[in-house]
Structure 1
Amino acid sequence: MPWMPELFSAPALERVVEQRRRDKLAAVPYFAGLMSGETDALVRSFAGEPELHHPVRGRVKGAHAFEAFVAQTNEWLAERNASVEDVDLVLTEGRSVEEAILRLDGEDGRIELPTAIVADREPDGRLDELRVYFSTWPLTGCHAVRPPLLQPDPEAREADVVGEYQRALAAGDVDAVVATFEEGGYAREPAGGRYVHRGAEGLRAFYELLFSNGGGIPLEHCTSTDDGQACALEYNVVWWGRTELPPEAGVGVYVRGDGGKLAAARIYDDSDPPLGGHG
């Protein structure tokens, strides 16, 4: 939820609150702000000139470029008859990671587009920059491999079960990965929709496929945002089993369940796995 609510008009803010059935908002969600019609409030939510990184539009920097991006995005959302489902929010002092699902008209009916929005903030709540993540697979049936947005940070390390999951993922250890999930836990691929794998059997089949290229998937860790309930990891994919890849940007959100293991792992990237036919 990147946008500062005090910058919006009362009618616009009331519409957002009513849509979400809340008494008030600490911040305005990403898509609600874009669709509010109040571009000036979005621009003023940034500490300096607006800067946003988008999977399709690339780097959007400066007020004029950002205003054009907002107008084009609204036109696209209207053409696709878009609706938005809020999923989750990871919030720390200097960063937030918002998850949503866009539902859009496609050629063969409605499609889902899972989207994550990372917002870096100043102490006063204003934005430094936004990084938007989604896979183009649901839109085009193809991957638009995305170059890195961030450099690896050796200090970005994940605690407890999230760290255990990352080590097992890098090692290609199916048993260890499945053991990090709670009963009924699930992993969702970037394409969303039918690409959800739940329970021990579903998870085992999924990770056996992921590791079928001769090994695990070690990631370059770039930022770690952890509020105790969930941890969001921005990363670069650099290897997939035996295949070295050009670094590709992504973010994963790992939600802890009541038992201390993972209730969910939701992935947002556009990597083209060397496996064939996979979203």
Structure 2
Amino acid sequence: MPWLPEHFSAQYVAELTQHRSAPPAAVSFFDGITSGQVDALIASFAGEPELHHPVRGRVRGRDAFARFVATTSAELRAASFDVEDVDLVVTPHRTVEEVVLRYDVGGRRVGLPVAIVTERSDAGLHELRVYFSTWPITGSHANRPPLLQPDETATEPDVVGEYQRALASGDVEATVATFEPGATVREPAGGPYVHRGTQELRALYTSFFSNGGGIPLEHCTVTDDGRACAVEYNVVRWGVTDLPPEAGVAVYVRGASGLLAAARIYDDSNPPLTA
């Protein structure tokens, strides 16, 4: 939820508050983009607006950002869009917002999982990074170059770190053991690509590791509020196959047991898997 509500009109904030018990602490990404108040979006930034988008690429500067907002808002409204809130991870200097964006494309209704990472300080927003897979839209992958460089200090605690080590090693049973019995893993394409329970997760990771090994990721940022942990990363290898580095983010939600209750992935990798 990147946008700062104090920059929007009082009427717009009142409209957002109608279904809430209090005024919003921040305006969600798509509410802001489709608000028609581009000056409020620009004023939310501490400096020049900067946004990284899977299709549009880097959008930097007031004029480019204003064009992006106008184009995106018009396209969404023409496609009868709606937004389902999924989750929100908030730390003092970074926010990760997850939604499912639903809209009409090519005569069908698409449900597109989207994650928005916002870098911010007391002065305002510094950068937004948007992640989604193009698979639900086009039926193909659009491999995305890295947005960030790996950071050796970006390490994950507890069960999230255990999961990452098991994923990198290609150990199916160790990976599945990091999840609660009824946990879910949602692949980037969303929709039918949601796997639930130990049996389905074992089948999923057996498939994932079928190219001769695990999936070691370059870890770039870790955003952890104690309940959920979001990891921005670069995919660089899948099993025995080296891949062009590609940007992604995943969100891991801890359950009451301390194990993972859910994992949601946002990248556009085209994995070299066997049948």
Q: TM-score range by the shorter chain?
A: over 0.9
Report if the CA contact (8 A) 1:93-1:123 is conserved.
Answer: no
Alignment-derived partner of residue 255 in structure 2: 257
Under a length normalisation based on structure 1, what TM-score does the superposition of the two structures give?
0.96
- Measured against aligned partners, the alpha-carbon deviations of 1:102-146 in whole angstroms (never above 9, x if no partner) come to 01113352111000000000134x100000000000000011100
Q: What SS does structure 2 have at the residue aligned with 1:190?
A: coil
Residues of 1 paired with 2:274 and 2:35: CA distance?
40
Alignment-derived partner of residue 119 in structure 1: 118
Report if the CA contact (8 A) 2:210-2:274 is conserved.
Answer: no
Is 1:179–2:193 an aligned residue pair? no
Is 1:198–2:196 an aligned residue pair? yes
Report if the CA contact (8 A) 2:211-2:274 is conserved.
Answer: no
Residues of 2 paired with 1:170 and 1:198: CA distance?
21
The one-letter code matched in structure 1 to 2:157 is A
Q: What SS does structure 2 have at the residue aligned with 1:150?
A: coil
What are the equivalent positions in structure 2 for 1:1-279 lying under 5 Å apart?
A: 1-18=1-18, 20-124=19-123, 126-275=124-273
The one-letter code matched in structure 1 to 2:237 is W
Q: What SS does structure 1 have at the residue aligned with 2:180?
A: strand
Gaps spanning 5+ residues in structure 1: where?
none
Residues of 2 paired with 1:237 and 1:52: CA distance?
21
Report if the CA contact (8 A) 2:186-2:265 is conserved.
Answer: yes
Q: What SS does structure 1 have at the residue aligned with 2:27?
A: coil
Residues of 2 paired with 1:39 and 1:84: CA distance?
19
- Kindly, what percent of the aligned residue pairs are identical? 65
Residues of 2 paired with 1:84 and 1:94: CA distance?
25
- Measured against aligned partners, the alpha-carbon deviations of 1:1-59 in whole angstroms (never above 9, x if no partner) come to 000011100111122223x5342211111011111111000000000000000000000
Report if the CA contact (8 A) 2:80-2:104 is conserved.
Answer: yes
Residues of 1 paired with 2:64 and 2:31: CA distance?
20
Aligned CA-pair RMSD: 1.2
Gaps spanning 5+ residues in structure 2: where?
none
Q: What SS does structure 2 have at the residue aligned with 1:40?
A: helix
Q: What SS does structure 2 have at the residue aligned with 1:209?
A: helix
Report if the CA contact (8 A) 2:16-2:23 is conserved.
Answer: no
